[in-house]
Each structure stands twice: as C-alpha cells, then as structure tokens.
Amino acid sequence: MPSKQPTYNNLIDVCISLEEDPQLSGKISDMFKALLSGYFFKYEAGESKNFSALISNMEVPDFIASAKTILDIEPEPLSSYVMGGTINESLAGKLMLSTQYLTAFYSSHPPSFSKLPEDVKFELIDRVKEKNEIIVSAFDKMNQDRESDKKRLIVTLIALVLKNVHKKTAMPLSKLDAGADETIRRIFRNCDSVFLAAETQISDLRDETKIKELIKKFFVIKQFKDIKEISDVYKSELERYIKRGMRASV
C-alpha cells in the first residue's frame, strides 16, 4: 500500500479530463469506472491487473449510466450507492472484499474475507469505510466547487490562479503598492463581473501582455527566465479555471 494517503480535492479537474477523452465521449459508465481505476483506486488497479479488470467489468447503476455528464451524477443516490446498506454492499466493500483484491494485497492469507484473522478483518473493514467516505467526500467537494464556479468573480479567479502559482513555484511575492484586488483591477477589465466563460472574458484573461504585467507586479523577478517559468504555470492554472467556468455556464 502507498505510504502516503493521496488527497482527492481535484475531482472536478479529473472529471473534466475524462470528459475530454475522445475514447470515453458520451460513455458515462465507462468514465465512472475509469474514475475508480485511475483515481480512487489508482494504486490498487496499477498493482493488480485482476483488480483492474474487476472494476472494468463491474455493473454501474442506472442513475450513473443515464447522467448527462459525469459531473452531473446526482449526489444523494451516489452517496447511497457508495455507502450501501452493509459493508459488503458498499462500493469499496464489493471491490476490496473481492477475491481479486485479497489475492493481490493480502497474499499471506486465504483470498476469502471469512477466513481472514479477526484483526485483519477489522483492519480491512476500516479501510473499506475510509475509501467509501473518501469517494462521497470527494463528490461533495466537487459539487461545492461547481457552485463556486457559477458565482466566481473575475478578480477572485485571477487571485486564485496567483495563489496556486505561488504554491506550485514557491516564487517569492512582491510587496504591492496597493491591495491585491486593486492591483488586479488595474490590469484586467470588468473584474467585478462573474466569470461566465464569455469569449471577451477569456480573451482578456489570456492576454500575454497583461499576464506578464501581473506576474511582474506580484512576484519578485530576478531573471528573465523567472517570468517564463511563472507564466507557464499561471497559464496552466488559468486554463483549468476556464474549463471549469465553461462547464459552470452551461
């Protein structure tokens, strides 16, 4: 098992990426299974082909298969489906109490939950509960993110991008001669408008000259290459929020 528990705060971006995959276009059931094997159970599916095949061949309930997009899966039926009536009936239970999973990750024991030692059973049950809770929490967080995307002002969007750039690059921040919001407003238009992914908004946000001016204002630039490095990360983060805004405006 991986030594460090991954975080699952970027589910919305993962779902958008799956929607952009031409091989999965319109196939919500396949997207959901790809989400399990490539995100929530990425380590396990990578370690065991049999476990990966189990996910690929599993049945997906109608409320998922009939969703408009993977982003639009209804939260209440999803929570009921994931948590199940019992541990065995839960989503993680069906996968992690399976012969395929036990063979791969509890190889020193018989591949049957009923034959596991009591202490191992309790450990496994805790892992199943934790995985179920992770999946439900990740979808809840995604729905909260989607609601925020629908109401986000342009000034807030730019500030979020700058915050993420600072985290990812660790570049030192400059001392501003005005507040952060005011500095942003001096560079970009209509900053107090909600970002609706309109062409004029996107064009303004992608303006290379304005991006470089923004970076010079907010970051300590020691070498020319610093501008390019920060700019590349900024553009990547910006596109992430633009994609989210496009879906929020539909």
pLDDT score for 158? 98
Task: Tell me the backbone φ, ψ of residue 249, rounded to 5 degrees.
Answer: -85, -5
Amino acid at 18: L
CA distance 165 to 17: 20
pLDDT by residue (tens digit) across 21-76?
Answer: 999 999 999 999 999 999 999 999 999 999 999 999 999 999 999 999 999 999 99
Confidence of residue 131 (pLDDT cuts 50, 70, 90): very high
Are 176 and 183 in contact by the 8 Å Cβ rule? The answer is yes
Mean pLDDT of the residues in the chain? 95
Average pLDDT score over residue span 115-130: 96
pLDDT score for 8? 87
In the predicted structure, residue 3 carries a pLDDT above the cut 90: no
If phi > 0 it is left, if psi is from -120 to 50 it is alpha, else beta; for residue 84 that is left
pLDDT score for 125? 97
pTM of this prediction? 0.90
**Look-up: residue for tokens 């509960």?**
129
pLDDT by residue (tens digit) across 141-183?
Answer: 999 999 999 999 999 999 999 999 999 999 999 999 999 999 9
Percent of the chain with pLDDT over 90: 93
In the predicted structure, residue 228 carries a pLDDT above the cut 70: yes
CA distance 51 to 155: 45
Task: Tell me the backbone φ, ψ of residue 203, rounded to 5 degrees.
Answer: -60, -40
pLDDT score for 117? 96
pLDDT score for 162? 97
pLDDT by residue (tens digit) across 4-25?
Answer: 567 788 999 999 999 999 999 9
Confidence of residue 140 (pLDDT cuts 50, 70, 90): very high
pLDDT score for 5? 64
Sign, CA torsion 150/27/84/80: positive
Distances (CA, A) of 101 to 51, 107, 121, 199: 6, 9, 13, 48
pLDDT by residue (tens digit) across 177-197?
Answer: 999 999 999 999 999 999 999
Are 60 and 29 in contact by the 8 Å Cβ rule? The answer is yes
Confidence of residue 1 (pLDDT cuts 50, 70, 90): low
CA distance 130 to 237: 30
Percent of the chain with pLDDT over 70: 98
Average pLDDT score over residue span 77-97: 97
In the predicted structure, residue 2 carries a pLDDT above the cut 80: no
Burial of residue 61 (number of CB atoms within 10 Å: 0-12, 13-18, 19+): middle
Q: What is the SS3 assignment for the chain? A: CCCCCCCCCCHHHHHHHHHHCCCCCCCHHHHHHHHHHHHHCHHHHHHCHHHHHHHHCCCCCHHHHCCCCHHHCCHHHHHHHHHCCCCCCCHHHHHHCCHHHHHHHCCCCCCCHHHCCHHHHHHHHHHHHHHHHHHHHHHHHHHHHHHHHHHCEHHHHHHHHHHHHHHHHCCCECCCCCCHHHHHHHHCCCCCCECCCCHHHHHHHCCHHHHHHHHHHHECCCCHHHHHHHHHHHHHHHHHHHHHHHHHCC
Would you mind telling me the total number of residues written for the chain in this entry? Answer: 250
